[in-house]
Structure 1
Amino acid sequence: MEMENLADGEDSHMLNGSVSESLNTDRMTLDEGYEPEEAAIPEQEEFLPHVPNQKTHFTDFEGKTSFGMSVFNLSNAIMGSGILGLAYAMSNTGIILFVFLLIAIAVLSSYSIHLLLKCSGVVGIRAYEQLGQRAFGSGGKILAALIITMHNVGAMSSYLYIIKSELPLVIQTFLGLSRNTGDWYLNGNVLIIIVTISLIFPLTLMKHLGYLGYTSGFSLTCMVFFLCSVIYKKTVISCPLNTTMTHPVYTNGHNTTEGDISGTFEDMCIAKLFTVNSQTAYSIPIVAFAFVCHPEVLPIYTELRRATKSRMQNVANVSIFAMFVMYLMTAMFGYLTFYGQVEPEMLHTYSNVDPLDKLMLCVRLAVLVAVTLTVPVVLFPIRRAIQQLLCPGQDFRWWRHIVIATCLLTVVNILVIFVPNIKDIFGVIGATSAPSLIFILPSIFYIRIVPNEKEALTSRPKIQAALFASLGFVFMVMSLSFIIVDWVTTGKSNVGGH
């Protein structure tokens, strides 16, 4: 009896040792961004099928974020400051063309996430940069990291620009001041530094993205309040605006005049179903930029509880559909309130009607809270991209985690403070990073990573992916061409941020 127990103990010890060694080998393989030469293990299967209760581990920790929290995080990553420019985009495309663009970009974004998840499932990698390395070596890894960094730095800058421009107005109204007195607490540059240190920086120190699901949910609640206010204001604001403006306004995207211009709006209160003008080219990057969330997809997938491709695809579909509804309603009611008078930043249009409106003051405050809580979610993929470039495969270190966040926030604050006009930069980023992240990178990764033995180059899925990448190149070339032509002909551009 004792001999049997001893034998059982030795067998158990050897089995446990084998399991531990196999898991360590798998973990090292995934961390280093490459796979062994054997056939890839399907995601639904276990790494060690001969061990009954062995769970699949793609990372150093098991995902613990619920489905709902993952939806909040991804929805918050999708929704950005671009929602403030959608009514302006509709005014320059017409209702029919705008709805077509919105549906098309939403469907294409869902398809590109499907390509990313399928690549991830084939190789067992849940990092965008590692997919680039697997597809094209170190060059692909660097390219993916640079595009993610460029896009997210632009998005973070747009959020901080909103804080810089809107927060002084909110404080000024709360204090009952008729004008900016020049005090430090009305200085936008000072305020963004205070907000960054006191609110944004502590949230960026979270170790796991899933913990930000609570702040993401609150951020989305703020934007729902913004949408409800836009719908309500449609019922109380008449067109043309019953106001006299004594500050510059935008007509068709251009700063046209100063002084009393209320009389020029009489012919602008007609909803257009389809229109094309010089600013229509900017509407496409605005809509595309508003749906970019792809750098955040794989980190959220990593931390999803009971993660499978189908479960994560459902997270993406629910998030995209929810944001599609919010975008469409915001654009529709905002446009039908101001028609041709809507400005690129919709909150400014409401301030033309009544600068002291308490409801819109609360809306401004809600938008400020929303964009403030979104910055940490956007920062996570940038930090991960930098870590993949500088120290791939290394264990987590708090000092590195904190230093990267500090450097990123410092760079973005300097950019927002010292660059006087960053709209043209956002235009170029929106016309380059958005098609790269939505169309091009997921498609070429899919073509390179999925084995030809499983799907031949002439198979329908890979032909679709190739056409999808081609569409991205066409989109990029057209957008940049139209933007450059507008710069040459008008001397300025007006593009909303993400």
Structure 2
Amino acid sequence: MNDYEGINSAQPDRTSIQGHDVTESAPLLANRNLTQGSPGASFGSSVFNLMNAIMGSGILGLAYAMASTGIIGFCILLIIVASLASYSIHLLLKMCDQTAITSYEDLGLRAFQKPGKVLVASTILIQNIGAMSSYLFIIKSELPTAIAGFLSGDQSGDPWYLDGRTILIITAVCIVLPLALLPKIGFLGYTSGISFLFMVYFVIVIIIKKWSVPCPLPQNVTVSYSQFSNSSDCVPKLFAISSKSAYAIPTMAFSFLCHTSVLPIYCELRRPSKSRMQKVANTGIAFSFLMYLVSAIFGYLTFFDEVDSELLQGYGQYLPHDVVIMTVRISILLAVLLTVPLIHFPARKAFIMLCFPGRPFSWLIHIVVTIGLVTTIVLLAIYVPDIRNVFGIVGATTSTCLLFVYPGLFYLKISSESFRSLQKLSALALLVFGVCVGVLSLSLIISNWVESQ
């Protein structure tokens, strides 16, 4: 059995587990079946894996979200989204404890039979394809610039190593594909730790470089820093509401979504239990929240209203040959690149559950589906015009469903508690919040597109 595919599809009876605490025994049995005698992933490795699933391209779009909502408005929204993300994971783990199911798709099956399972698998597939394509979009747009920054003199012609599409294909084939073909998600714990260190370095540089970019910003950066734009405003906004604000919450939801990886990480956790996995989730979300907040604040205070939807592009424009910026660009690119295989695991699992339900593990299917998914996200990354579109659409639809709507809806359906219980009322509030956020954000984003046309 591989990639936790088919685990607990038969939904074992709770009464058959005797003499043990059900909170620990149900996931533990699934973990033993999966790892086949291996000790499982450590607490630290699981936290790194979860943080790697949380932190990716989203960190580059949060400064733009802050510019659209203001500092205080952004902080309030970020706290709300992070808290709700932790609470929705709590609901997922509690449902796993009650049903002995360790698969998001099988929770959908338990709640609404086969349509529920198909809906969840389709949502996961679309969400993770959108996430991976956004990561590769950054590779396509930033890696050639990073390479050019280390080259001296003018490059004659149009060399292949400065072409984003060519570089994207090479990195996908040489790095993403081999890591995505690994049989277990726990193997990526080491790459997740490296990715986390890259993210920490990125945040530190964002803080330091806040004082290297002048304000007001130079109007013509190719001439000198003596010409400044008179329209630039260097006073930070505490609250702001505009048409751009529609991208704020979807971007945050996109940035905190790790729910498709939570249950697979739970399956491979050493000494698995609901409380232990909840500590993993809370630790990962807390560290991610801190790094998101710091990078967004200093990124916004560097460029103010001129901040780009992809933060690194601003540094590339105003500090094109800064050695530290070039190294941090490479670091964030490697961090994002190492996240793609981790997001690929639940996407492949969802696709196999949709197209090959009930089939035993096959290396042929495993390899063919992996190659097909990697090819798809490469093509999307090549033809997507703006990363903000990915954050907005994916965040307003699939991210809000997986983060807010499905955990609340499934808990209302599966749990045997009274509907007036605090837990079910909280699940209902989470469901209503997710629906409202998704509908409102998607409507505003579509309206902005129509106006821009």
TM-score, normalised with respect to structure 1: 0.84
Cross-structure match for 1:43: 22
Confirm whether residue 264 of structure 1 aligns to residue 230 of structure 2: yes
Alignment of 1:69-468 (within 5 A): 69-178=45-154, 181-242=157-218, 244-245=220-221, 262-266=228-232, 268-420=233-385, 423-450=388-415, 452=416, 455-468=417-430
Instruction: Please give the alpha-carbon distance, in whole angstroms, between the structure 1 residues aligned to 2:17 and 2:428.
Output: 23
Identity among equivalent pairs (%): 46
Q: Which residue is 1:12 aligned to?
A: none
Separation of aligned partners in 2, 1:28 and 1:64: 17
Q: Which moved more, 1:307-316 or 1:201-210?
A: 201-210
Q: Deviations over 1:45-79 (max 9, x none)?
A: 657xxxxxxx7445523461000000000001000
Deviation (angstroms), 1:107: 0.3
Aligned residue type for 2:436:
V
**Cα gap change, 1:30 to 1:198, in 2 (>3 Å):** closer
Partner amino acid, structure 2, of 1:429: V
Deviation of 1:174 (Å): 1.7
Residue 34 (structure 1) aligns with: 11
* Runs of at least 5 residues in structure 1 that lack an aligned partner in the other structure: 1-26, 48-54, 248-259, 492-498
Q: Which has the larger radius of gyration?
A: 1
Shift in Å, 1:86: 1.1
1:199 counterpart SS class = helix
Give the aligned residue type for 1:214.
Y
- Compare 275-284 and 175-184 and name the one that shifted more: 175-184
Residues 163-211 of structure 1, C-alpha deviations (whole Å, 9 max, x = no match): 1111111222222244683122211111111101111111111111111
> Contact 1:135 / 1:448 at 8 angstroms: preserved in 2?
yes
Give me the whole-angstrom Cα distance separating, in 1, the residues matched to 2:32 and 2:347: 18
TM-score, structure 2 length as denominator? 0.92
Residue in structure 1 matched with residue 433 of structure 2 by the alignment:
471
- State the distance in 2 between where 1:66 and 1:58 align: 13
Q: Classify 1:227/1:149 alpha carbon distance in 2 versus 1 (closer, same or farther; 3 Å).
A: same
1:60 is aligned to 33
In 2: Cα distance, 1:422 partner to 1:100 partner: 24
Distance, in Å, in 1 between the alignment partners of 2:188 and 2:6 is 29
Cα distance in structure 2, aligned partners of 1:356 and 1:28: 47
Q: Distance in 2 between matches of 1:265 and 1:180?
A: 37
Q: Structure 1, residues 298-340: CA drift from partner, whole Å, max 9, x if none?
A: 0000000000000000000000000000000001111112222
- Give the secondary structure class of the aligned counterpart of 2:446: helix
Distance 1:339 1:290 in 2: 21
Matched, 1:481 2:423: no
Gaps of 5+ in 2: none
The answer to whether the 8 A contact 2:134-2:390 is kept is no
Q: Tell me which amino acid in the other structure corresponds to 1:129.
A: E
1:33–1:130 Cα contact (<8 Å) kept: no
2-structure distance, mates of 1:318, 1:180: 50
Match of 1:476, SS?
Answer: helix
CA distance in 2, matches of 1:362, 1:29: 43
How far did residue 421 of structure 1 move?
A: 5.0
More deviation, 322-331/351-360 = 351-360
Contact 1:43 1:308 (C-alpha < 8 Å) held by counterparts: no
Q: Secondary structure at the match of 1:240?
A: coil
User: Structure 2 CA distance, aligned partners of 1:59 and 1:147?
Assistant: 28
8 A Cα contact 1:33 1:133, kept in partner: no
| In 2, Cα distance between equivalents of 1:322 and 1:265 | 37
Instruction: Quote how far apart the aligned CAs of 1:429 are.
Output: 1.6
1: CA distance between counterparts of 2:6 and 2:206? Answer: 51
* Distance in 1 separating the partners of 2:205 and 2:12: 52
Instruction: Compute the displacement of 1:44 (Å).
Output: 3.1
Tell me the CA shift for residue 457 of structure 1: 2.2
The alpha-carbon deviation at position 123 of structure 1 amounts to 1.1
Contact kept? 1:265, 1:341, Cα under 8 Å = no
CA contact (8 A) 1:172 1:178 kept: no
Once the 2 structures are TM-superposed, how far is the Cα of residue 425 of structure 1 from its aligned partner? 4.9
Q: Which amino acid aligns with 1:208?
A: K
Q: CA deviation at 1:28?
A: 12
Contact 1:119 1:449 (C-alpha < 8 Å) held by counterparts: yes
Q: Which amino acid aligns with 2:312?
A: L
